[in-house]
Amino acid sequence: MEKPLSTPEMEKGSLDLVENSTEPVVIAGRTLRTLADIDPDAEKRLRRKLDRRILPIIILIYLLTFVDRANIGNARIAGLERDLHLKGLDYNILLTSFYVAYVVAELPCQMLTKWIGPGKTLPIFSFMFALFTLVMAFVHTKGAAIAVRFMLGVAEGAVFPGIAFYLSRFYRKDELGFRLACYIVCAPGAGAVGGLLASGILKIDHIGWLRSWRLIFLIEGIISMVVAIVSWFLISDRPSVCKWLTPEERELAEFRLVAENVGQHEAVDRMHSKAVWSGIFNVNTMVVSLIFLFDNCVVQGVGFFLPTIIKSIYPGETVIQQQLRTVPTYVVGCASTLASGYFAWKTKRRGLYMLLSAPFMIIGFVLYIISLRPQIRYAAAFMVAIGAFNFGALATAWSAANVSSDTARSSAIGTTVFFGNCGGLISTWTTLPKDAPRYLPGNTFNLIASCLMFILAGGLIVWQKRENKAKAAGRDDHYLEGRTEAEIADLEQKHPLFRYAH
| Sequential DSSP letters for 112-153 | HHHHH-HHHHHHHHHHHHHHHHHHHTT--SHHHHHHHHHHHH
Tell me which residue of 204, 226, 227 sits closest to 216, measured CA to CA.
204
Sign of the CA dihedral 487, 488, 490, 494? positive
Residues 368-395: tens digit of each pLDDT: 899 888 888 888 989 999 999 899 899 9
pLDDT value of position 18: 52
Average pLDDT of span 18-42 = 71
Buried/exposed code over 468-479 (b: 16+ C-beta within 10 A; e: otherwise): beebbeeebbeb
Q: Is the pLDDT of residue 355 over 80?
A: yes
Residues 235-274: tens digit of each pLDDT: 999 998 999 999 999 989 988 888 888 777 777 788 888 8
Average pLDDT of span 442-454 = 93
How many Cα atoms within 13 Å fall on the side-chain side of residue 128?
Answer: 18
Residues 391-412: tens digit of each pLDDT: 989 999 999 999 988 899 999 9
* Residue 350 host element (H or E): none
Please tell me the least confidently modeled range out of 29-33, 106-110, 215-219. Answer: 29-33
Q: Are strands 25-27 and 30-32 parallel, antiparallel or unpaired?
A: antiparallel
Yes or no: say if 266 and 295 are a contact pair by the CB < 8 Å rule. no
- The residues, any chain, with a CB within 8 Å of residue 313's CB and separated by 6 or more, are 325, 374, 377, 378, 437
Average pLDDT of span 490-498 = 88
pLDDT value of position 206: 65
Q: Residues 299, 300, 302, 305: what is their CA dihedral angle, to the nearest 10 degrees? A: -170
Please tell me the least confidently modeled range out of 54-63, 192-201, 456-465. Answer: 192-201
Domain residue spans of the chain: 8-494
pLDDT value of position 111: 92
pLDDT value of position 304: 57
pLDDT value of position 5: 37
How much is the pTM?
0.81
Q: Is the pLDDT of residue 14 over 60?
A: no
Q: Is the pLDDT of residue 29 over 80?
A: no
pLDDT value of position 24: 66
Residues 356-368: tens digit of each pLDDT: 999 999 999 999 8
pLDDT higher at 453 or 441: 453
pLDDT higher at 66 or 470: 470
CA distance 376 to 297: 22
Amino acid at 5: L
pLDDT value of position 318: 79
DSSP code at position 25: E
pLDDT higher at 199 or 337: 337
Q: Which fold has domain 8-494?
A: Growth Hormone; Chain: A; (1.20.1250)
Q: Is the pLDDT of residue 191 over 70?
A: no
Give the total residue count for the chain. Answer: 502
Average pLDDT of span 270-291 = 91
Yes or no: say if 167 and 179 are a contact pair by the CB < 8 Å rule. yes
Q: How sure is the predictor about 7, in pLDDT bands with cuts at 50, 70 and 90?
A: very low
pLDDT value of position 135: 93
Average pLDDT of span 109-116 = 92
Yes or no: say if 53 and 285 are a contact pair by the CB < 8 Å rule. no
pLDDT value of position 205: 72
Residues 139-173: tens digit of each pLDDT: 999 999 999 999 999 998 899 899 999 999 999 98
Sign of the CA dihedral 23, 25, 31, 33? negative
Amino acid at 438: R
Yes or no: say if 364 and 387 are a contact pair by the CB < 8 Å rule. yes
pLDDT higher at 263 or 297: 297
